[in-house]
Structure 1
Amino acid sequence: MVDTDGARIIQLGAEDAAAGLLLSTEAHWNQTGADWLVFLREGTVLGIRDGRVLVATAALLPYPGNNAWISMVLVTASHRRRGLATQLVDACLEVARKRGLTSWLDATPAGAAVYGPLGFTPTLQLRRLKLVTSTPAATPAPSSAPVEALCARDRRATGLDRTVLLTAFAERPGSRIVSEGGAIALVRDGRTARHVGPLFADDSAGALTMINTIVRSENGPLLIDAVASQGAFLEGLTASGWTIERPFQRMRFGPASATGGELPFAVAGPEFG
């Protein structure tokens, strides 16, 4: 069995995508194998094995401009409460420190209680919502938009250059970037539900119009990670049948180095920021 104090942390490669997917599926997360390949190819994914079995992971995904996202902190059920997650997050922070990166993450309430003592400070809050619908698509898909438009809006809003990430999302089968009025959003496949986000709009009315148009053009379950302080948008979602599944607390380790000029209505996902 894994020795908690002496667990050997290793760096994972693309060949470990299937093993990582087993962990996130066990946790009932929505990631796909393609999501894991983003982390494994563009970031640093650390893991711990018990024998030949991968039992714990954590990923550091850097973005240009000295920022990085920590995510995919997973421990299989039989190996929890041994400090493996803390060891892996510490190792990610050390990698970030050596590279001069400010680290961010989106934590569950239980995770926030762990990350706070490590030195993370809270920023904004998110709410994950789900809509389950089995009705056939009632309207055509909204107008499509080029990935360059989404990347430019994302960069202006968040202060992060995520061109590589958003382009990878957009190029996947089933993904689409939709725009309507002053709103633009990405819709992509997940393991169990389609994910909407990031979503930017000029106001909450425009954001809700965009969501309603997307819903009418889809025929399966949808997930969205809404910014909690966008109160009118959040209220509009719940009033139209979306249910809140869980909250997330965005947290930062290190000095603020990304200044956004616009608050998104929904983010790319707690694993991506």
Structure 2
Amino acid sequence: MADTEHLAISQLDPHDAAGGLKLSTEAHWNQNEADWQFFLTKGIVFGTRDRNGNLVATAALLPYTETDAWISMVLVTESWRRRGLATRLVDACLNTATKLGLTTWLDATPDGAQVYGPLGFAPTIQLRRLRLANAPGSGGAPLPAATLTEFLTCDIGAMGFDRRGLLQELSGRAGSRLISNGDAVALVRDGRSARHIGPLFAESSAHALAMVRNVAAAESGPLLIDAIAAQTVFLDGLKADGWTIERPFQRMRFGRATVAGTELPFAVAGPEFG
């Protein structure tokens, strides 16, 4: 860590969106510029720069309520990895969260979980990211729009806290679709390299699968979904439909749970948002 101690940690602003996007693109993540602008305007994003002023590492704290926040966008450019930068930046997020009295959550890759566990994060649920390389785009009748109120009610039931600002932002973007088939509701939005399905709430695995199939029929190109691992029937159905698992994520919590969700969703908004 000694060779990174000279790198100051600073709070970033919206002018750093291009530098953040460069880091997430290097990591082959799916965030686009709109995602970075959201983090930089609604969250607290820390970063470090090299001697030339280039952004080489980031971590974001995104408060959702007065009690709960999300940590994500923990990124380090390849030439600066394994030198303690990620730990320092996550510590900055945790210190800020502690001062604000926030319980923090994150979705960690297997490598990330090895970093966060020693910091005091406890594992909760597991996720699986799946990809459909090419949606069939076979057409069919478009699904009716879901109401944001209906969607928020489902999300609060799943998360235990209100993410109104996030869901208003994501659903209001050009290209986003907030849809319902009567027994399931889902958000479909643009990413850097693939369209993303989630959150997805449904009465049953069969209804959740029907929703994903309806979405795929209306889309072309690659799709991503971050499914709850415990929804095994849903996961098996996705794999039977040609979806492939890309990677697992472990949801983790730092601090005492102030609230609890009452129902698991079938898919989440993404590891960057929870």
TM-score range, shorter chain: over 0.9
Cα deviation digits, residues 14-63 of structure 1 (max 9, x gap): 01011100000000000000000111111100000002100000000001
Partner of 1:208: 209
Query: Is the aligned partner of 1:68 residue 2:74?
Result: no
Task: Give the Å deviation of 1:4.
Answer: 1.6
Partner of 1:161: 162
2:217 and 2:233 mapped to 1: Cα distance? 21
Counterpart mapping for 1:167-206 below 5 A:
167-206=168-207
RMSD: 1.1
Query: Is the aligned partner of 1:147 residue 2:140?
Result: no
Q: Which amino acid aligns with 2:144?
A: S
1:161 and 1:97 mapped to 2: Cα distance? 20
CA contact (8 A) 1:126 1:249 kept: yes
CA contact (8 A) 1:204 1:233 kept: yes
Task: Give the Å deviation of 1:134.
Answer: 5.6
User: Which runs of 5 or more structure 1 residues have no equivalent in the other structure?
Assistant: none
1:88 and 1:141 mapped to 2: Cα distance? 44
2:253 and 2:135 mapped to 1: Cα distance? 38
User: Which runs of 5 or more structure 2 residues have no equivalent in the other structure?
Assistant: none
Task: Give the Å deviation of 1:148.
Answer: 2.1
Cα deviation digits, residues 221-248 of structure 1 (max 9, x gap): 1000000000100010001100000000
Aligned length: 272
Query: Is the aligned partner of 1:23 residue 2:16?
Result: no
Q: Which moved more, 1:57-66 or 1:241-250?
A: 57-66
Partner of 1:248: 249
Partner of 2:115: 114
Q: Secondary structure of the residue that 1:185 maps to in structure 2?
A: strand
Distance of aligned partners of 1:134 and 1:122 in 2 relative to their CA distance in 1, 3 Å threshold: closer
Task: Give the Å deviation of 1:174.
Answer: 0.4
Partner of 1:7: 7
Cα deviation digits, residues 142-197 of structure 1 (max 9, x gap): 11112222112111221121110000001111000010122100000000000000
Task: Give the Å deviation of 1:138.
Answer: 1.9
Q: Which amino acid aligns with 2:268?
A: V
2:34 and 2:134 mapped to 1: Cα distance? 25
Q: Which amino acid aligns with 1:224?
A: I
CA contact (8 A) 1:119 1:253 kept: yes
CA contact (8 A) 1:65 1:161 kept: no
Counterpart mapping for 1:42-53 below 5 A:
42-51=42-51, 52-53=53-54
Query: Is the aligned partner of 1:101 residue 2:113?
Result: no
Q: Secondary structure of the residue that 1:133 maps to in structure 2?
A: strand
Q: Secondary structure of the residue that 2:221 maps to in structure 1?
A: coil
Partner of 1:77: 78
1:106 and 1:218 mapped to 2: Cα distance? 27
Give the TM-score, by structure 2 length: 0.97
Distance of aligned partners of 1:184 and 1:136 in 2 relative to their CA distance in 1, 3 Å threshold: closer
Q: Secondary structure of the residue that 1:132 maps to in structure 2?
A: strand
CA contact (8 A) 2:135 2:219 kept: no
CA contact (8 A) 2:228 2:268 kept: yes
